[in-house]
A and B are shown apart, each in its own frame.
Chain A
Amino acid sequence: KQEVTQIPAALSVPEGENLVLNCSFTDSAIYNLQWFRQDPGKGLTSLLLIQSSQREQTSGRLNASLDKSSGRSTLYIAASQPGDSATYLCALVETGANNLFFGTGTRLTVIP
């Protein structure tokens, strides 16, 4: 049974720091993995999508990696800004499925 875990559940960092958010999953039979951010009371914004055949994706200050064999993905945020404060969610699509299976989320606070 798939389990997607994000550790830590909450993280506070000073502005300008580089940081890494972690996502681990128990079943490596996946099609892809997607990272989202969710602002309080708002919807989800797609950040990066990594296909199962890919190792990483980059967009601006964000870099996401995927290691299927170890069941891990990381989201690297460079030079963090207060506007990066949000909850970050990883979600994957299992092989044979169509829906996203979500992790527990990491609530990030970037302190000015």
Chain B
Amino acid sequence: NAGVMQNPRHLVRRRGQEARLRCSPMKGHSHVYWYRQLPEEGLKFMVYLQKENIIDESGMPKERFSAEFPKEGPSILRIQQVVRGDSAAYFCASSQGQGRTEAFFGQGTRLTVV
């Protein structure tokens, strides 16, 4: 049973480009969470999704960021018109049930904006 798979592991984008980060949850998990870890800071919640639904996006910046978890395929975190301040490690986690169940994390995608 593969764990949470994130790709790419490293992503370099120029300012103004789009970044697409993908996350495949563990088999049998239908709840996906995205977190961001800025340099020298802790992990901060961004968004919580179930299949085809955004449940909680209270941690997501209002502009340029969006997330989806389609019926088929991985969850996608999309950042449009990236800026240097978006450089961070983005982690995806999945769980079997809602947040009260154990969360398992992927290896993360390290985004560098140049």
**Chain A residues at the B interface, C-beta cutoff of 8 Å:** 31-32, 34, 36, 41-46, 49, 51, 89, 91, 93, 97-105
Contacts and interface: CB of A to CB of B under 8 A. Distances in A.
Given A43-B108, A98-B56, A103 B98 contact: no
Contacts of A31: 99-100
A65 to B, nearest CB: 18
A55 B81 CA distance: 47
Interface string B52-90: 000110010000000000000000000000000000000
A44 B105 contact: yes
Nearest to B59: A99
A112 to B, nearest CB: 27
8 contacts: A31-B100, A32-B100, A43-B106, A46-B102, A93-B100, A98-B100, A102-B42, A102-B44
A89 B105 contact: no
Contacts of A46: 102-105
A102 B43 contact: yes
Contacts of A93: 99-100
Contact of A36 (B45, B56, B105, B106): B105
Given A34-B103, A93-B99, A105-B42, A99 B108 contact: no
Nearest to B43: A102
Given A42-B108, A43-B106, A98 B99 contact: yes
A104 B42 contact: yes
A33 B43 CA distance: 15
